[in-house]
Structure 1
């Protein structure tokens, strides 16, 4: 689905560049960004793992720069690589990071990158702190934003002390976002049932456990909500959207597989106030959990970049967060408008498996409308079919096996 009618014109002289580090070729968010700006006539470029990724085959892509990375390279090497791509593009381009590594690199090397690229100016240390579970928790405490109770053990003895006083079950997560590219302590969000289970796991975490131990928010007493927004240099939202997550993959612990746009003024105000207090500028993707036991929204994740499911959200003027950023950075007004309440987003290659898993668990989302007002598919688009077929070619076989391994590793996982 191409979206609603667009009531504005973008600057077609300023291209966009999708920036991603690491090996995750089946990334629908990057494809969505290429389509979103490409449909406006904006020339689009992308960093890809190779020439056979779905993004590389979009009709809206001018050129794919095949650059295999792990996300663990030295920052100087990544900056040099980005600058080399910028010179090949030949004119200033808007940077659109799709992962934390890219967002942090851009923030921490603004002076070098500003020569060839356009991006929001943000406090250099802020994206790294927001991407860290510990950094985010500390910011929430500092600014009075609800978040799950958490502990950050530095040694095995700290884990033992936590185990003596903890109320189980608890949740273990990797403390830093970047660790997933290296050797994570846990495979993902992991539910820990009791003291013995925790100590057994902790023996494999080494002398310095890189984990956060967090309060478990039972899914039967909670709802998963998402906020996507773009904030200007004054931390004022130029586009802000709220929605509810229906399903994720791995179940209750992974990326969004199915979601709806749902108006939530309380949640929008909470997100706006927090971003204002910390002074963030740019695109945000927030995950929050509404705890019915105390009636509070608890912030779980603050992604300082575009979220993979951002195309769920668009206002009546045709503005999504990627379009808002491009308009703002090129000096154009960002049109206002109501969000498309009731609109649905489906990630085809993971939603069927998620649906089956959720049916077995009996979990339902009370705020999801019975009938969507429209559906945006992550991969299928009538005006751009090649990414879907490329995805299917890569997904069948190794991709499906990877999906199965994710499910196996998350059988004891819970929602974030």
Structure 2
């Protein structure tokens, strides 16, 4: 009996969603169905995506029903649900029982997902395992609405970074001056930031960390897939070259050199074992120039927005999840994949993932040796743009990519006109 045809179904519309669809098409030649509120550039006019739009401001119930309708419209296929945003992971957690009747839902148990998405819990685990993290304090805003409330004093060395511990809740909020991640040069500025977040209605914990110095190029990233037996079956890592700096996009990597980071990858795997995590996970790490140690900043219980860097490193994340949850599909074949062990942290392809132009990137790399290495990779292989897929090129997509690049360049001029010693 032939294996059922695979149908990946993905929530969202951003560049990371398109990258997931591209991975499935590269590995198995299948189109993905994207379910989203409304059209958006990265997925528009694509030959590898079927889009289902639920309407702006759709309720959770409407989105879940759309997912069920997609499954019902394609009986006999194996439906694999993929999400790549914190609030969408929460949606799946709340409706897992009904979705699991029609979908393969490749996520860890709810309590594990909740722990993995909590920055306070990551700090606890790292300290227990002896993995370096920045000095930090947790500020609970649960009582911030009470009369006379004031932000507490922070016994930290400034400058500091402030970020909501439960980012899914904060992501859906809207208020003046909102940022994904804040920095504060002194206690007064930190108190002002905490007051602003509290005034917007956020009532959970804000993590305040001592800022690790260094420009963007001191950043590192590790992405893993852990199968249902707890075994890491895919791992990729790289050096951040340049991240986005618009207020709501801070922390998103835009250019990554896919050079192996085996020591950091082993520490990432240890954290996931401690959590008993399964599925995709992505870590943000920063090497401290003062001692050369990588300090773990964030764990995202998802594959992450710049996930196509994993493909540039010679791994295909679609294969990892399909081999785990859809073995019949995996056994039936697919397009030839790259050689080598996808879980080998020390050996991977060296390339550059980037959706920024070289003319911009080179201005933000202060180290001449690193700039020369990037230039050499560019000459020999080019930069891999996640939206530039040879099997999905057309005039409209090319036009969108050009306009998007222009907007990103403008954002850098406005928010980050030159590299700084802190990345802020």
Q: Which residue of 2 aligns with 1:194?
A: 186
Aligned length: 391
Structure 2 distance, partners of 1:406, 1:380, is 26
Asked whether the 8 Å contact 2:161–2:210 carries over to 1, the reply is yes
Q: Please report how far the alpha carbon of residue 65 of structure 1 lies from its aligned counterpart in structure 2 after TM superposition.
A: 0.7
Alignment of structure 1 residues 236-255 onto 2, 5 Å? 236-250=231-245, 253-255=250-252
Structure 2 regions of 5+ residues with no counterpart? 332-336
Q: Which residue of 2 aligns with 1:323?
A: 319
Q: Which residue of 2 aligns with 1:96?
A: 82
Cα offsets for 1:253-290 (capped at 9, x unmatched): 43111111112221221111211121111111211112
Which secondary structure does the structure 1 equivalent of 2:197 belong to? coil
Asked whether the 8 Å contact 2:242–2:254 carries over to 1, the reply is yes
Q: Aligned pair 1:273/2:245, yes or no?
A: no
Residue of 117, 122, 126 corresponding to 1:136: 122
Shift in alpha-carbon separation, 1:12–1:394, aligned structure 2, 3 A: farther
Q: Aligned pair 1:79/2:74, yes or no?
A: no
Q: Please report how far the alpha carbon of residue 402 of structure 1 lies from its aligned counterpart in structure 2 after TM superposition.
A: 8.8
Q: Which residue of 2 aligns with 1:256?
A: 253
Q: Please report how far the alpha carbon of residue 16 of structure 1 lies from its aligned counterpart in structure 2 after TM superposition.
A: 0.6
Shift in alpha-carbon separation, 1:74–1:257, aligned structure 2, 3 A: same
Q: Please report how far the alpha carbon of residue 193 of structure 1 lies from its aligned counterpart in structure 2 after TM superposition.
A: 0.8
Q: Aligned pair 1:154/2:151, yes or no?
A: no
TM-score (norm. length: structure 1): 0.80
| Stretch of structure 1 that moved more, 49-58 or 116-125 | 49-58
Cα offsets for 1:288-329 (capped at 9, x unmatched): 11224344322212111122222222389x641122112321
Cα offsets for 1:220-250 (capped at 9, x unmatched): 6982111112110122111111111111111
Cα offsets for 1:40-65 (capped at 9, x unmatched): 2223111234345331322112x201
Asked whether the 8 Å contact 2:23–2:311 carries over to 1, the reply is no
Cα offsets for 1:63-84 (capped at 9, x unmatched): 20113466xx765554334323
Q: Which residue of 1 aligns with 2:397?
A: 388
| Stretch of structure 1 that moved more, 215-224 or 257-266 | 215-224
Q: Which residue of 1 aligns with 2:23?
A: 36
Structure 2 distance, partners of 1:95, 1:114, is 9
Shift in alpha-carbon separation, 1:408–1:211, aligned structure 2, 3 A: farther
Q: Which residue of 1 aligns with 2:283?
A: 286
| Stretch of structure 1 that moved more, 276-285 or 46-55 | 46-55
Q: Aligned pair 1:182/2:186, yes or no?
A: no
Which secondary structure does the structure 1 equivalent of 2:285 belong to? strand
Which secondary structure does the structure 1 equivalent of 2:384 belong to? strand
Residue of 53, 58, 83 corresponding to 2:46: 58
Structure 2 distance, partners of 1:11, 1:292, is 52
Shift in alpha-carbon separation, 1:74–1:31, aligned structure 2, 3 A: closer
Alignment of structure 1 residues 323-402 onto 2, 5 Å? 323-331=319-327, 332=330, 336-337=340-341, 340-348=348-356, 356=363, 358=364, 362=366, 366=370, 369-370=373-374, 371-372=376-377, 374=381, 375-386=383-394, 388-389=397-398, 391-392=400-401, 395=404
Asked whether the 8 Å contact 2:221–2:237 carries over to 1, the reply is yes
Structure 2 distance, partners of 1:269, 1:401, is 36
Structure 2 distance, partners of 1:259, 1:415, is 15
TM-score (norm. length: structure 2): 0.79
Shift in alpha-carbon separation, 1:159–1:122, aligned structure 2, 3 A: same
Which secondary structure does the structure 1 equivalent of 2:349 belong to? coil
RMSD of aligned residue pairs (Cα, Å) = 3.7
Q: Aligned pair 1:47/2:35, yes or no?
A: yes
Q: Which residue of 2 aligns with 1:170?
A: 160
Structure 2 distance, partners of 1:324, 1:314, is 12
Which secondary structure does the structure 1 equivalent of 2:34 belong to? strand
Structure 1 regions of 5+ residues with no counterpart? 1-9
